[in-house]
Amino acid sequence: MTEHPAELMRRLAANTRVGYSFDQEFYTADAVFKADMDQVISRKWLVAGHVSRIPNRGDYFLYKIGSEQIIVIRENDTSIRAFFNVCRHRGSTLCSEESGNKKLLVCPYHAWSYGLDGRLIAARLMADDFDKADNGLFACHVRLFHGLIFINMSEDAPDDFDATFGDMGPILDYHGIADARIAHAGSYPTTANWKLVIENFFECYHCVPSHPEFCSIHGAESIVAVGAGPSSGPADAIASFTPMLKAWEERAAALGRPIGNMDDAPDSSHLRLLMQRMNKEGWASETQDGTAPAPLMGKRTQADGGRMHLSFSPFTQIVADDHFAILFQFTPRSALASDVEMIWLVDGRASEDEVDIDKMIWGYHATTTQDKVITENNQAGIMSSRYRPGRYSEQEGSVLKFQKWYLNQFGLDRAE
């Protein structure tokens, strides 16, 4: 008899020890992944992409998550729509290309045609009692926020967007995210469960042995204290780092940067995070030699030597310094596969000649390529019959918080 999803998750939660990694099934079982999609992923506001990808009416791209394909399309100058890529006739996909432009969304199977607002416009040879108004495309909730296209796949009313993310507006405005342009995009598909991808991103315990490039462009004290966020390191390292951080915050605030951190508790809806800190001493930007690869971004009039890490949810992160920003998208695809994508953004006024792509992507391209390898190795080891949950270090505090948040999405807690 198949185990009911609620019973499955209760059993696994009961076996989870505080301070230890999850049991094997959390990272491998198709049934757990289905529960993740139903109870967690489909209910969150996720960044599908940057609005600059679809500048013209009818421009679209496909956002693939789990077994879903979402058509993200520009309806007009002021409206972005998102629809499940499923014809209401017999379920064929409407769009097969990853991106393009459509005047209408026409099913290639039987030619049912939909407007850019999702309304069914034409359906040949249907009976007289057929109502086109009842057969429009299934839509996602959509919000455009500082140039970022958020979607929510929930069939119910989603978490209030403004209440959830409104206080992030000032820092996104300062960085000029709305008016930025995409300078480079990188894809790093990873044969690993989405929780392993995120747990890896949420700790810097592995940074010294695994990421020489990353460590070369960041101060050693900040890597230990706040390498993966404000609560990721040991308490003594955070206490030692705090005076240096406060001094930089005062300097940055005087130059106009909105100052403030966010560190949501595990009972929050999206586990948001905002951490701002100074670059490595002598480094103007997160590049191999510390020099700027592009003009100043956003509303800056001069550099403040700072770095921002903003997390809308575990699935979507932004890392930015004075000259560029990176949008990280961690997209679950199956129990053993995740899409990892990075979009490098620069100031919308920067010309191509002013942006050194190779210099800009050097550090994080190397780091994410390494993350793909170590996370896939982690997944391969977890598949073994000899895998047992291991104890976390003092530098993995953010992983513990993520685990508690994850279980809270199911109304569960860990055994003490």
Residue 197 lies in a domain: yes
Q: Tell me the mean pLDDT in the region 349-377.
A: 97
- Distance CA(218)–CA(128), nearest Å, equals 68
- 212 and 312 assigned to the same domain: yes
CATH number of the domain within which 123 lies:
2.102.10.10
- 177 and 275 assigned to the same domain: yes
pLDDT tens profile 142-183: 999 999 999 999 999 999 999 999 999 999 999 999 999 999
Residue that is last in its domain, among 126, 152, 178: 152
As for how many domains the chain has, the answer is 2
**34 with 388: CB under 8 angstroms?**
no
pLDDT tens profile 87-105: 999 999 999 999 999 999 9
- Distance CA(377)–CA(162), nearest Å, equals 39
The pTM for the full model equals 0.95
CATH number of the domain within which 232 lies:
3.90.380.10
Residue that is last in its domain, among 152, 183, 211: 152
pLDDT tens profile 23-75: 999 999 999 999 999 999 999 999 999 999 999 999 999 999 999 999 999 99
- 173 and 124 assigned to the same domain: no
- 171 and 102 assigned to the same domain: no
- 231 and 341 assigned to the same domain: yes
Residues for the chain: how many in total?
416
Residue that is last in its domain, among 113, 130, 152: 152
Number of neighbouring beta carbons within 10 Å of residue 87? 24
- Distance CA(95)–CA(116), nearest Å, equals 13
- 338 and 235 assigned to the same domain: yes
Residue 158 lies in a domain: no
- 241 and 336 assigned to the same domain: yes
- 88 and 175 assigned to the same domain: no
Residue 159 lies in a domain: no
Among 131, 117, 305, residue whose Cα is nearest residue 217: 305
- 266 and 299 assigned to the same domain: yes
Residue 101 lies in a domain: yes
Owning domain of residue 239: 166-408
- Distance CA(180)–CA(146), nearest Å, equals 10
- The helix/strand count (H/E) of the chain reads as 12, 17
Residues 6+ apart with CB under 8 A from 188: 340, 341, 342, 368, 369, 371, 372
Listing DSSP states for 67-82 in one string gives TEEEEEEE-SSS-EEE
Q: How far is CA 33 from CA 141, 151, 335, 401, 402, in A?
A: 22, 20, 5, 20, 17
pLDDT tens profile 192-250: 999 999 999 999 889 999 999 998 988 887 777 776 677 777 788 888 888 888 998 99
Among 151, 170, 169, 167, residue whose Cα is nearest residue 159: 151
